[in-house]
Structures are given as structure tokens and as C-alpha cells.
Chains A and B, each alone.
Chain A
Amino acid sequence: MTINNSFAQTIRSIFTDGGALLFCIVVPLVYPVLYSLIYNRENVREVPVTVVDECRSPISRDYIRRLDATADVRVTGHAPDMLTAQEGIKKRDVYGIVRIPSDFHDALMQGRQTHVQCYCDMSGMLYYKAILTANTDVSLAMNAEVKVADLGGNPVAMASGINGGTAEQRGVLQHPVRYEAVSLFNAQSGFASFLIPAVLVLVIQQTMLLGIGLLAGTRRERGVRTSTELGALSTLTGVALAFIAVYIPVSAYVLCVVPAMFDLPQIGSLWHLAMLMLPFLVAVFNLGITVATLPRHRETIFLLVVFTSVPLLFLTGVSWPGAAMPDFWRYFAMIFPSTHGANAYIRIYAMGATLADVRHEYLMLWALAAFYAFTAWLSVRFVFMKKRTENAGHAVETAEI
């Protein structure tokens, strides 16, 4: 079969085969949108907490008011004691308890330390983060005020000799050093902006693997025939060109249109992204041929590919930091195009890096493309030889894609 024929035939089968159409076109269109809808609110806000105010003084009520005013936490109830407050956790009405000790007011007046207790539900790290952040913010703000407040002979104010000092002096005492925390690239620390880009790259890889596997399986089960080994090579080239031709618009939609639809970070250069996607798509295609040729039944590809989505997402090192991964898994992760693809895509498109900044990933993708081209050739040849021995003396039939 010539390259032209095989190209045209593959394009036709992608659009006529139900399974291939579903995974190469429909899933890339719909799945990223679905994921973005789930995560699109970016942050968890107004986590409900219960307060146990054992002090009941104006200053403890001030603490509670400020806590309620933060974006992260909402005070939904007051409990008389811890036992009652725990009922709220038990019913999952609240995700945390804030307990203000009975000596809260006295300690502040006398210049002693006082401890506010926060109990956080650990079913999700985001609850914990919200409750801790809100309480830390409120306590730091109040600490700064307590330092200079004229609380009838506040020891700090007296010791520092600024009782009745100027506003500037008070300011210096409150914050001898000022600090600024800057979140780069994902300014709101949003969950969608963080997770979706890695998911997008995985969607491209996994759907292409499934698409190749399904088409290969169908052809094999229906016994499509080509005549020679050379024919196999040109057929394969045609199939590769067809898949890449389909996946260029698909990738453009998944990697550029979806982030635009959901306001995910997108500050990168399209040209650099396009340059990156070339080795990525080639590497994924070759990997696809390598895996797809092996199983006998077309359905088997689901079983081999789908479950890997979750482990592969973790292996990218985007959620669990790559620097904290055991070496063995870090090297293991390198054999998958998604690892390099996801990191390079995030750095180029969400963080504004150039192709030179992702040199390592870019070169690794070409290396993988070459390596998997070799394995793809091996596995096509393996099937080819097997068929030939099976059909010895008859017309040669190959079972490659």
C-alpha cells in the first residue's frame, strides 16, 4: 500500500470506526471541558467551621469576626464546648473547630502567650490549608496590633518606650521587616490552573494510544493484508501522517482553546508550543504502534492503557513534586512521553518559558520518538514474521496496522 492510500484509508477509518471516532475526536473535545468544569472554581472558599469561645470577651469576639471575614473560612456555628462542636464534624456540617481558650483576654492584657487551637478535618488537604491560612492571617494581624495597642500599660509598648509614640514608630515596632509573598504564573493558586494543564497533555497521549490500538485491533481482526515488508513500512508512514494530521487540530483545541475557555494561565509562545508538540506526537504515535501491535484482541488496548492514566499523572511530578520522588520512579517516569510533554507544556504555555528552557524535555521527547520508532518496527516485524510462519506457502498477510 502506498503512503497516500494508507493515509487516506486511516483518516477514513478514524472517522468511520465508532471506537476511534469516540477516542480520537469526541473524548478530546468533551473530556477537557468536563474536567475544567469540575475544577473551574479554582479554590475552596468559605470552609464552614465551628467556634468554641471559652473566653467570651470583646477581644475573642473580634478574633471570631475577623476569622469569619476571611475568604477561606466561614464561621457557621458557636458551640458551648468541644463535645458539642465535635457533633458538627461527625455530621460533616463543619470541617474544623476553632477553640479560643478562657485566658485569651487575660493573657493578651498581661503580655503572656495564649494558644488558639484549630482542629482540621483531614479528608482533604484544601480544608486544612484554608483553616490554617485563615487563622494564621488573623492571628498575625492581631499580634501586630496587640504589640502597640494602648492596653492600659501594655508591656511591649512600655518596654519599647513608644507609649504615645508616632504612628511611624508603631509601624516599625509592628513590622520591623515587611515581606511580600508573590505567586508567580498561577496568581490565585488555583486548582484548575495547576492540574488541568497536565491532564490536557495526558488526554492527548491516552486518547491517541487508544485510537491507534482500536484501529490496529480492528484491522487485525478483519485480516487486512499487505504484501511485503517494504509495504508495511510505507503503510506505517501513511498511518503515522494520518494520526498526526488529525492530532494537530485536536492538540490545538485541547492545549490552546480549552485554557482560553476557562481562563487558565496562557502566557506562552504558540510557536514554541508547536515545536514542542511535534516530537511529542511522534513519540506518542510510535509508542502507540509498539503497544497496539501486541494484543490479539482490539479491546485489550483499553485494559492496557486506561488504568495508567492515574499513575502517569503522578509520574509527571506535577502534583507530587518530582524532587521528592524516589530515584527509581523518577527514571521510570522518563520512558513516558507524557512526563516530558506535561512538564514542558506547563513551563512553556503557563509559565512563559522558551523552547531553550525546556531543552531537556524537548531532547528527551526526540530520544523517545527514536527509541519507540525502533520498538514499533520490532513489534510490527514480530507480528509480520509470526503471520508469515503461520501462513507459510500462502499469500503473505501482515497484521500490522
Chain B
Amino acid sequence: MFRIFLRELRRLATTPLCWFMLVGGPLFCAILLTTMMQDGLPSDLPVGMVDMDRTSTSRNLSRNIDAFQICRVSGHYASVSEARKAMQRGEIYAFYYIPEGTTRKLQAQQQPIVSFYTNPQYLVAASLTYKDMRMMSELMGGAATRSVLKARGVGNEQLMGMLQPIVIDCHPISNPSLNYNVYLSNILLPGVFSLFFLFMTVYGIGLEIKENTADELMLSAAIDGRMTSLGTAFRALFGKLAAQGLVMHLVSWLLMAYLYGVLHFPCQCGLPVMLLIASLFVVASQGMGVLMICALPGLRMGLSFASLWGVISFSICGMSFPAMAMPEWVQGLTVLFPLRHYYLLYVNCALDGYPILNVWPFALALVGFALLPLLFVRRFGRIMLHTAYAP
């Protein structure tokens, strides 16, 4: 088995494509996603102003919106239609509309109406600009009440209790700055890594068939001299997996060290536990890979299976859109995707800081995926010896 292990390591080191799949590709994605979202929370998103009132009050409002963290007033428009056109051209994410006579009505206590328009076709930008603009509108009303109350002699301490009796203090657990990098990269990157690992596993086995090296592989695994024995197939399969797994572990651990050591993403459970979870995820991905190539012999079909499965994982794991909001039958299918279990383990351990035993079924599920190759040892042996590559 050690011979197979060394043979596989040599193959990996001499095939440029393997370097790409195990090292170059994953690391490129890690750099891309984490640097793209390095700000954590978007800031200075361009928004428009439609100020038909043109008073010092309305200009003040526009300056205040500009001063918020998320919004930057990038343009003033003469009418709502023009602002809407600018939105359709992609120049602004949202705009604020102050109709003519707002200040006059405000002073005459006639309840003017202002409005703001967001564009949830760009959902993240819309939620964030909505929050700021709503806050601004509340503050505008508060300022008006405040000047009335002050005129009637209410003191400063009393004021806040009257303007905003109930205050909501929100505590986002473990991600207080609403860092989108933490929220997305923590799952997307292991997901991308796992996609590469699926490919590598499928490709590693498929290539033996394609390049007619399967016989040679089985021959060097057949220490008892019988190429068809179960032991031979076992040694060949697990020798290969061990070599690939070794590299995958190193790369995954590098990712964990980067996320939690360099970028300092929240990791309540400590790095060792996340390394363990990353290891479980690696072997689970390998297990799925073996299932794919053995269930569908042929490199092409195996890789197609891996592509479709791997890409849908990102949606079905429930990271961006919660599983509880999916149709029930889809919720049932989520357990078939290792990324779903990884996600729940990560949330429990790194984000919330509970012991891994709290979510042992998910860890067990990953172990289950990792044991899948045991079911396919016999079939693997048969494929290696009897399948010819068909282009």
C-alpha cells in the first residue's frame, strides 16, 4: 500500500493539472473572495437625491444621508423619473425623494410625506441603504418633535424618553460588525475547496482508466500476486486516496490557518477543532468522489456528476438562503450534501462556540460520507481491470 501511496504522490507532483486542482485553483479562489469582501460591510454605496423642496432643511437631510456609513449621495436628480432612469442605468442603488413644500408643511404641522426607493434586484445593497434611509427618516421626524418639545420647555434628559421610548439593542452573536466576509467566505471557500477535491478524486481514478495505467496500478498493489482479490483493490484504492488526502489536508489546513489565524475570523472553538472539522470534510469529499466515479464509470460522467453536485451544494447548504424556507422535500435532500453538514458544524463550533458533541450527528454524517469508499472496493477493482476508456 505504501508503494501505491508513493506512486500516487509522484503522479500528483508531475501532473501540472493536479497542482492546479489541489493548490493553485483553491488558493486563487481563497484570495479572490476574501480580498473582494475585505471591507466586511459595504460602505459609500452611491444613492441619489431628488430634492424638490430646496430648503436648508432638505439640504441638511441630504448631507446627513451622505454622512451615514453605507450611503454616499452621488447625484442630485430633477425628478423621480430621472432618478429611476439612473437606477436602471446602474448608477445608483437607491434614492431619496423630498417633495416640494416638505419644510413648509413640517413647520405648519401638516405631516409632509417623504419617500425613499430601494432596488432589491441588488438585495444586499438594497437592505443596507434601506436601513440607513429609514433611520434618517425617523430622525427627521424626531428632530421636528424635539424642536416642538424644546419650545415648550422640556429638558434634554426627558427628551430622549419621549422621542424614542423603546430602543432596540441588537446583538449579532459573534459577528457584531455584520462582516459579510465572515458570513460568506467561511462557507464558500470550503465549498470551493471541496469541489476541487471531488474533481481530484474522480480525476485521479478516471485517469488511470483513460491512460491505461490501471493494470499497472493493480499489479503493484497485488502483493499476494492476485490482481482480482479484494485486498488488492483495497490497497490500490486507499493508497491512492491516502496520498491525495494528505495534500488535501495540508491545503485545507492552510485555508483554516488563513481564515482564523491571518484574517482573524471568529473561531470560538479554537483552531484545532476547526482543523478537525476541515479534515472530516476532506475525507467526506473524497468519499463522495469515489461514489461518483464508481457509480458512473467513465471520467466524463464522473466529472459531470461532480460538477452538478458540487455547484448545487452552495445553494442547498442553506448558508445564504435558510433551509427552513425551502420546500420541505428540498429540506430533506440537504442531508445528502456534505457542505450542509460542514456548515452546521462550523456554525456550532466556530461561530457559537458550543462543543462539537452538541452537533455530533453532523460530524457522524461526514464520517459516513468518508466510509462510502468501503462499499465500492470490489467495484473499484472491477472497473480498474475491465473498463476501457471510450472518448
Residues of A close to B311: CB separation below 8 A: 306, 309-310
Residues of B close to A23: CB separation below 8 A: 304
Selected A-B contacts with CB under 8 Å, 16 pairs: A116-B166, A160-B148, A171-B111, A177-B137, A179-B116, A181-B116, A181-B133, A222-B391, A311-B192, A320-B124, A324-B42, A329-B32, A343-B90, A350-B121, A351-B88, A353-B88
Give complex CA distance A384, B118 in Å: 53
Residues of B close to A108: CB separation below 8 A: 165-166
Closest to B333 in A: A38
The answer, among A22, A129, A140, A175, for a CB contact under 8 Å with B127, is A129
Give complex CA distance A162, B353 in Å: 52
Residues of A close to B2: CB separation below 8 A: none
Residues of B close to A176: CB separation below 8 A: 106, 109, 111, 141, 144-145, 148
Give complex CA distance A316, B338 in Å: 27
The answer, among B90, B137, B316, for a CB contact under 8 Å with A347, is B90
Residues of B close to A300: CB separation below 8 A: 17
The answer, among A111, A143, A146, A221, for a CB contact under 8 Å with B158, is A111
Inter-subunit contact B300/A19 (CB<8 Å): yes
Q: At the interface, yes or no: A319 with Cβ under 8 Å from chain B? A: yes
Inter-subunit contact A38/B114 (CB<8 Å): no
Closest CB in chain B relative to A133 CB, distance in Å = 9
Residues of A close to B170: CB separation below 8 A: 118, 120, 128, 131-132, 135
The answer, among A142, A156, A190, A329, for a CB contact under 8 Å with B35, is A329
The answer, among A18, A44, A132, A182, for a CB contact under 8 Å with B321, is A44
Residues of A close to B330: CB separation below 8 A: 37-38
The answer, among A265, A314, A352, for a CB contact under 8 Å with B33, is A314
Q: At the interface, yes or no: A334 with Cβ under 8 Å from chain B? A: no
Inter-subunit contact B300/A185 (CB<8 Å): no
Give complex CA distance A39, B43 in Å: 27
Give a binary string over A351-378; 1 marks a CB under 8 Å from any B CB, 0 the rest: 1111001101000000000000000000
Closest CB in chain B relative to A151 CB, distance in Å = 11
Closest to A198 in B: B121
Residues of A close to B160: CB separation below 8 A: 113
Pick from B3-11, B195-203, B224-232, B244-252 the stretch touching chain A: B195-203
Q: At the interface, yes or no: A172 with Cβ under 8 Å from chain B? A: yes
Closest to A48 in B: B324
The answer, among B36, B46, B141, B149, for a CB contact under 8 Å with A320, is B36
Q: At the interface, yes or no: A230 with Cβ under 8 Å from chain B? A: no
Inter-subunit contact A194/B325 (CB<8 Å): no
Give a binary string over B305-345; 1 marks a CB under 8 Å from any A CB, 0 the rest: 01110111011101111101111001000000000000110
Closest CB in chain A relative to B37 CB, distance in Å = 6
Q: At the interface, yes or no: B368 with Cβ under 8 Å from chain A? A: no
Q: At the interface, yes or no: B82 with Cβ under 8 Å from chain A? A: no
Give complex CA distance A90, B353 in Å: 9
Inter-subunit contact A155/B326 (CB<8 Å): no
Residues of B close to A39: CB separation below 8 A: 315, 321, 326
Q: At the interface, yes or no: B210 with Cβ under 8 Å from chain A? A: yes
Closest to B174 in A: A122
Closest CB in chain B relative to A345 CB, distance in Å = 11
Give a binary string over A277-304; 1 marks a CB under 8 Å from any B CB, 0 the rest: 0000000000000000000011110110
Give a binary string over B106-133; 1 marks a CB under 8 Å from any A CB, 0 the rest: 1001111111111111111111001001
The answer, among A44, A119, A147, A353, for a CB contact under 8 Å with B171, is A119
Inter-subunit contact B162/A307 (CB<8 Å): no
Inter-subunit contact A310/B164 (CB<8 Å): no
Give a binary string over B200-222; 1 marks a CB under 8 Å from any A CB, 0 the rest: 00010010001000000000000
Inter-subunit contact A297/B210 (CB<8 Å): yes
The 8 A-B residue pairs whose C-beta atoms are closest, nearest first, are A324-B42, A176-B144, A353-B88, A179-B137, A186-B120, A194-B123, A189-B120, A180-B115
Chain A contact surface mostly: helix
Residues of B close to A172: CB separation below 8 A: 109-111
Q: At the interface, yes or no: A124 with Cβ under 8 Å from chain B? A: yes
Inter-subunit contact A160/B165 (CB<8 Å): no
Inter-subunit contact A159/B300 (CB<8 Å): no
Give a binary string over A14-56; 1 marks a CB under 8 Å from any B CB, 0 the rest: 0000110011000100010011011111011101000000000
Pick from B175-183, B254-262, B276-284, B369-377 the stretch touching chain A: B175-183
Q: At the interface, yes or no: A139 with Cβ under 8 Å from chain B? A: yes
Closest CB in chain B relative to A152 CB, distance in Å = 15
Inter-subunit contact A179/B115 (CB<8 Å): yes
Closest CB in chain B relative to A295 CB, distance in Å = 8
Give a binary string over A176-215; 1 marks a CB under 8 Å from any B CB, 0 the rest: 1111111111100111011101000000000000100010
The answer, among A34, A121, A324, for a CB contact under 8 Å with B39, is A324
Inter-subunit contact A120/B199 (CB<8 Å): no
Give complex CA distance A156, B149 in Å: 8
Given A23-B304, A139-B167, A175-B141, 14 more A-B residue pairs with CB atoms under 8 Å apart are A19-B304, A35-B312, A112-B161, A143-B164, A143-B166, A146-B166, A147-B162, A179-B116, A299-B206, A302-B307, A303-B203, A306-B310, A307-B196, A326-B38
Query: How many residues belonging to B are interface residues under a CB distance threshold of 8 Å?
Result: 121
Residues of B close to A113: CB separation below 8 A: 160-161, 164-167
Chain B contact surface mostly: helix
Q: At the interface, yes or no: B381 with Cβ under 8 Å from chain A? A: no
Residues of A close to B310: CB separation below 8 A: 306
Give a binary string over B335-374; 1 marks a CB under 8 Å from any A CB, 0 the rest: 0000000011001100110100010000000000000000
Inter-subunit contact A122/B183 (CB<8 Å): yes
Are A323 and B46 also in contact (CB < 8 A) when A112-B161, A113-B161, A310-B29 are? Answer: yes
Closest to B140 in A: A177
Residues of B close to A324: CB separation below 8 A: 39, 42-45
The answer, among A110, A146, A159, A175, for a CB contact under 8 Å with B153, is A159
Residues of A close to B324: CB separation below 8 A: 44, 47
Inter-subunit contact B358/A90 (CB<8 Å): yes
- CB-contacts of B15-31 with A (<8 A): 17, 20-21, 25, 29
Residues of A close to B35: CB separation below 8 A: 326, 329
The answer, among A22, A159, A311, for a CB contact under 8 Å with B152, is A159
Inter-subunit contact A351/B121 (CB<8 Å): yes
Give complex CA distance A335, B166 in Å: 51
Are A346 and B141 also in contact (CB < 8 A) when A89-B352, A117-B169, A143-B166 are? Answer: no
Inter-subunit contact B45/A132 (CB<8 Å): no
Residues of A close to B54: CB separation below 8 A: none
Closest CB in chain A relative to B43 CB, distance in Å = 7
Give complex CA distance A194, B120 in Å: 7
Residues of A close to B125: CB separation below 8 A: 321, 323
Closest to B89 in A: A357
Residues of B close to A125: CB separation below 8 A: 178, 180, 183, 320
Inter-subunit contact B303/A302 (CB<8 Å): yes
Are A115 and B322 also in contact (CB < 8 A) when A19-B300, A306-B310 are? Answer: no
**B125, B134, B304: residue with the most chain A Cβ atoms closer than 10 Å:** B304
